[in-house]
Every structure is written in C-alpha cells, then in structure tokens.
Amino acid sequence: MNAHPTSPESKAMLNVRYDHYRMADGADLYVTHYGRPFLRHLLPENWFEQEWFRKSREKLQGTSRVYRVRTKPVDGMEKDLVVKWCRVGEEVPMDTFTLNKFIEAEFNSPYEEFSLVMEMRGRARPGTIRTHKPMAIYVPAKRLELWQTGRSRSKIAQKKAKFRDVELDIFRQYILIYEWIKGVSSTAPEAARAAEAEEAEEARRFAREMLHRSISDMWQAGFRVLDVKAEHVIVRPRKGGGGLLRDRSGQPAYALVDFELLARTPDYEETVKRFRRQTYLERQRDRFVPSPRPEDFPDHLHPVRILDVDYVHGDCESTHGKLWVVGHDPDLFDYFQPERWRRTPRESLSESAQVYYTRTKDEIHLVWKVAHVGDMPDPAETSPAHAAHGYNSPFEEFAFALQLSAAGVPAIYPRAIYMLGHLSTLPPESLDPRRYDSHGDIRMPGGEPVLQRERNYILIWGFWNGLDEVLATEDLHRRYCKGLNAEQALEQGRITPAGFDELMEKTARLLASAGFESTHLRGTHFLLTLSAEGDLLCDPDGTPAIRLCNFEFLRKLGPA
C-alpha cells in the first residue's frame, strides 16, 4: 500500500484540531492529539493492509462494521485499535418505539462524533465518564458508487449544510479509529461472574444498573445516546477472580463505547444555542472589523465587494444556491444557510409582498423578503417615478441601507442575500431587464453574474429589536424594544392622521439630507420604535424616531 503521508496540515473542525495527512494514494488521515503519539501505528499500511487486516481483525458486537484490530509492530510495539465504518447518511435501524421517540435521529458524521465525544469527556464530572480515546479518522481514496454506500443524498446534504467547515464526500468511506479499551461488556458472562451475579436475573440486574448509572452520568454532562444499550458499557474484571475494577467512589469503574448516535440533551442543546446566539450578536457587532486575509478564509468561502459593500460569499450545498453575508467575518456565514431559517415557523408581515418574520434554529430573529428585482412595475398601481426607475436589486438595497446609516439616517440592518438554487418559472422576456443589464459586469469569483434573470433572490434583514452594539452586551439582561410601521401605529391610535403626514414628510427630509429620495414612499417603509414599556421612542424634537425598513424604491438624487 503506497500511502506514505505528506507533512501534516493543522486543521480545526467542529472545535477539534487534527493533523491532516494527505497520503500518496489520495487517502486522507486526520489525527487527533490522542493519536499523535501513535502516528506510525495509525498509518493504514500498519493496520489496513488487505491481508494483515483480514487476519488480524475481530468483529465486535453490533449492527455496524466495527472491528478490533492489532497493528503491525512499530519499534517492537503493537497497538490494539477499534476501527468503525461511519454510517452517516444511512437510515437508522431502530426499533419502532425508539424511532418514534427520536424521529429525527441521524447518524453522526465522523467529525461530529469525535467532537461530541471530546466535548462530553471535557464536561463530565471527574471520574465519572470514561470512553475509548478518539485517535484518528481515515478516509480511503477509493470512491464508491452511491448504491454501494447506502447513503441518502438528502441526508448528506443536510449534514454538509449544518457543518460547512466539515469535509464530507458522499462517495467516500470514513473509518473512525479509537483506542481499544480493556474490559468486557456489562452483559458478558465474565462481567456477571466478577460482579458475583450468580443467577441470570442478578446478571441482568447488574447490567441494567450499570446502564442506568451511565445514562445518569451522561445526562448530568449534558449528553445522551439515542440507542443506548447495556452492551455499550464496558467494565473490567480483575485478574485472578478478584471482582471488578472500581473507581475512587468504590463503584465498579466503567467506560462507554459506540457514539454514532451521541447527542446533546435538549436542555444542554438550548444552552449551546444561547451561547451560539450570543456569539452571533458579538460577531454582528464586529462584522466590519478588518477581515482575515483571503488566503485564511475556508476553501468554500470568498471575500467579495459589491457596490462598495463587503460580503462573505459561498455556495449553499443543500439547495445549490448562493449566499452573500454582509461583513468580513466568515464565521457568520453558517448562521444564514437556508436550512437555518427557511423552514422555521414564520409570520407574514405584509399583505402585498412576501415578507416574513422568523426565529432561526439558532434563536436569531430575522426578517426575510423575496426581492422584486426584475418585476415590471404596473404604472396603474404605482407612481410615475417608480415606473421610470424600477425595483432596486438586492445589492442596491443593501448598499443604500448602509450608505444611509453612515449618513446618520437610522435603518434596519442588512444581513445576507440568498440566491435560490432552483430556476424561476417566469419567462425571461417578461422581466424588467434594467437591473440585469446594469449589473452585468458584477461577477462572482467563478465568473457568473451576481444577478441572474432565471433566479429569485431573498433579502435577509435583522429584525428590529435593538441596536447591535446593545444586544451584543445586554441581550440576556435587557428587554427588547419593538418596531411597528407608521400605518400600524396609525391603526392602533398611537399617532394621529396629522402625525402620520408629518412622519412621511420627516422621512422624505431625512432621505434628502443623505442624497436619496423614494420613488413611492409609503407608511410601511419606515418603522417607529416602542420601548420595552410600550412607549413610542422620540427624537430630541419630540417627534417619533423613525427607522427605514424598505429600500427597493429608493434612488439617489441627481446634482442640484
């Protein structure tokens, strides 16, 4: 096997750092800090060579392909390993009760499994949870046919979309390598004898007690295994019939194995979500801080600048769409992947447009809106100025919002632009061509135009409930403010008709002061702000403070 590795590249995936070795035959080996002292043992030529593996492996209990294998001697020392073929993307073979209870259960990806195992080891109370050590992930070079893998394209796409910094090839095998841990299953006869469980019922009781203890210890650490079995609990009989090895508390010591369905508990997952939300808020506050060098970006992301706005740009694997996230921070990209917000419960915010409020899977409040770019204005339903100008592109809307904010005109926060993967059903000849023509020279890193006639676009805005700078530091301790548009304020009696007219004039003046005008200004195009106590926030002149929330009708004023 010609698989001598190159020099390693340090690579972090899901908070685990690996030494990534590229083998001469095209295979990949990812070695953790546990595996680093045993690198030569982990090289596939020392355990996966065909004849050696056939003779040296021992099939272990379970439904997956999992073996104990002893390596070839390296410097006179052999090493016992557990090697397990990852089943990510395959159907989970559970009994009916378990499947109904955990209907969304999916096998972990190899990197997800190692990350969760290490996180659980780090969170467990000292001396409670022991596991076999995750040493390496081996990815053979050979690519299989899809039918040979048993995987689902949709399941793999969901995994790739959930963890974009993880490399996952649907056609390649992933073999997890753990250190062999001494002992036997708690259900084994040797375990029962060592526990002095003479009768069959006593043996079953011992295995149940060990299982329940392990479940309790995992739960306290914030974890669970969805198909937990007593066979996964390993105990160690002492040599010479001296009972079981015990921990410092005097209880039988145990270790856990098999983590392909390891998951966080619901409560701990909520804690992680809150932490992720807080991280998001801090990153949004700092999104325009000078960026890392382009060469430091992940391979799937690119820094781009469109109409003087900086974005992080990349593909959406799960939908074949494209995504532009405002700012310089590549770590914000995954928060706006469509599967994080596209199917979460939503509330319509408009009777005349596709505008929705949603709370994402990361507990982030967003407003998303289907862009009107390319729609032909109907002169009978709009102003002559709008008919002459047309609808702005998503990129113009974001640029105008940021320019107005920089000029001191309050505006909601532009977050991301999503180009859908599927083709529009509208024939190209029915579209207003002006924006496609004017944007024709603006290209993606691959050379495609950013604005395409056959695609639809969604603009993602921050839901107005407070300033980014405030939320980043006071999110958990501060009650949110709330936005409502001027027409809603009028309907609710918070402003009078005369006050409404004054606010329309105020908005036009603010736009003009920044060099803009609206071709079709309406009361739904700007927000008023209610304090946490329900009072309208006002400017120093005593009039309600406004915040612009619609930019598709704006145009720059010409020279006077």
290 exposure class (CB count in 10 Å sphere: 0-12, 13-18, 19+): exposed
Which residues are CB-neighbours of 434 under 8 A, at least 6 positions away? 390
Identify the domain boundary among 479, 507, 533.
Answer: 479
3-class DSSP assignment, residue 163: coil
Nearest one of 397, 400, 376 to 386, comparing CA atoms:
376
Kind and range of the H or E element at 176?
strand 175-179
Q: Which two tokens stand for residue 510?
A: 């603010």
For residue 42, give every residue at least 6 positions away whose Cβ sits within 8 Å of its Cβ, in sequence order, or none. Answer: 29, 31, 35, 81, 135, 136, 138, 177
Per-residue pLDDT band for 546 (boundaries 50, 70, 90) equals very high
- Dihedral over alpha carbons 311, 313, 316, 319 (to 10 degrees): 70
Q: How is residue 492 annotated by DSSP?
A: T
Distance of alpha carbon 343 from its chain centroid, rounded?
Answer: 14
308-366 pLDDT per residue, tens:
999 999 998 778 899 999 999 998 998 998 988 988 899 999 888 899 999 988 889 99
Q: Which two tokens stand for residue 383?
A: 């102003």
In this structure, are strands 262-264 and 301-306 parallel, antiparallel, or unpaired? Answer: unpaired
- If you average pLDDT over residues 96-112, what whole number do you get? 72
CA gap 231, 216 in Å, rounded: 16
Query: Has residue 496 been placed in a domain?
Result: no
> Do residues 284 and 314 both lie within one domain?
yes
Q: What residue type is 551 in one-letter code?
A: F
Confidence of residue 96 (pLDDT cuts 50, 70, 90): very low
Domain assignment of residue 285, yes or no = yes
* Same domain membership, residue 191 and residue 177: no
**Is residue 485 domain-resident?**
no
Q: Which amino acid is at 338?
A: P
Residue range 215-240: mean pLDDT, rounded: 91
pLDDT at 474: 62
Q: Yes or no: say if 88 and 168 are a contact pair by the CB < 8 Å rule.
A: yes
The answer to whether position 508 is within a domain reads no
- The secondary structure element, H or E, covering residue 324 is strand 321-326
What phi and psi values does residue 553 have, to the nearest 5 degrees? -105, 0
Domain of residue 408: give its range: 269-479
Q: Which residues of 497-509 are buried (b: 16+ CB within 10 A; e: fewer)?
A: eeeeeebbebbee
Instruction: Write down which residue in 264, 292, 316 finishes a domain.
Output: 264
Dist CA 505 CA 490 (whole Å): 15
Count how many domains the chain has. 3
Single out the residue of 177, 89, 92 nearest to residue 137, CA to CA: 177
Same domain flag for 162 and 35? yes
Task: Check whether residue 191 and residue 312 sit in a common domain.
Answer: no
Question: Do 21 and 149 reside in the same domain of the chain?
Answer: yes
97 has pLDDT over 50: no
**Strand-pair partners of 17:** 12
Tell me if 533 is assigned to some domain.
no
Distances (CA, A) of 6 to 3, 9, 22, 28: 9, 9, 6, 10
410 domain residue, yes or no: yes
Mean pLDDT, residues 187-200 taken together: 80
* 285, 375: one domain: yes
Residues 220, 286, single domain; the answer is: no
Helix (H) or strand (E) holding 370: strand 365-370
Residues 445 and 418 in one domain: yes
Does residue 165 surpass a pLDDT of 70? no
- Which tokens in the block code for residue 185? 């299953």
State yes or no: pLDDT of 393 exceeds 90. Answer: yes
Cα 233 to Cα 124, 190, 207, 223, 258, distances in angstroms: 16, 14, 8, 15, 9
Output the six-digit token pair for 111. 């990197």
CB atoms within 10 A of CB 361: 16
Mean pLDDT of the chain: 89
What does DSSP assign to residue 95?
A: -
pTM of the prediction? Answer: 0.70
* Distance from C-alpha of 57 to C-alpha of 177, rounded to nearest angstrom: 13
Contact in structure between 343 and 368 (CB atoms under 8 Å): no
User: In Å, what is the CA distance from 12 to each residue of 20, 34, 165, 167?
Assistant: 10, 15, 9, 11
Q: Which helix (DSSP H) or strand (DSSP E) does residue 332 occupy?
A: none
Q: Are residues 308 and 398 in the same domain?
A: yes
- Report yes or no on 25 lying in a domain: yes
Q: Is residue 100 predicted with pLDDT exceeding 60?
A: no
In this structure, is residue 549 part of a structural domain?
Answer: no
E strands, 439-553, are 457-462, 482-485, 516-518, 526-530, 546-548
Q: How many Cβ atoms are within 10 Å of 191's Cβ, its own excluded?
A: 26
Dist. CA 64–CA 110, nearest whole Å: 14
Say whether both 257 and 389 belong to one domain: no
Phi, psi of 136 (to 5 degrees): -165, 160
pLDDT tens digits, 241-296: 778 888 888 889 999 999 999 999 999 998 988 888 888 889 999 999 886 677 77
CA trace torsion 503, 505, 510, 512 (10° rounding): 160
Considering only CA atoms, which of 394, 399, 429 is closest in space to residue 322? 394
Six-digit token string for 470? 């405030």
Distance separating alpha carbons of residues 227 and 96, to the nearest angstrom: 12
* Per-residue model confidence (pLDDT) at position 128: 84
Distance between CA atoms of 509 and 203, rounded to whole angstroms? 83
Distance of alpha carbon 486 from alpha carbon 524, whole angstroms: 6
Burial of 560 (0-12, 13-18, 19+ CB in 10 A): exposed
Burial class (CB in 10 A: 0-12, 13-18, 19+), 239: exposed
Shared domain for 302 and 189, answered yes or no, is: no
| pLDDT for the residue 211 | 94
Q: In this model, does residue 425 exceed pLDDT 90? A: no
Residues forming a β-bridge with 546: 528
pLDDT of residue 80: 96
- Which residue in 174, 136, 138 sits closest to 17, CA to CA? 136
Distance between CA atoms of 161 and 333, rounded to whole angstroms? 11
Would you tell me the crossing angle of helices 200-221 and 110-123 to the nearest 10 degrees? 90
Is pLDDT at 559 greater than 70 in this prediction?
no
For 43-92, how does the pLDDT look when each residue is reduced to its tens digit (9 = 90+)?
999 999 999 999 999 998 776 799 999 999 999 999 999 999 999 999 88
| Pair (327, 205) in one structural domain | no
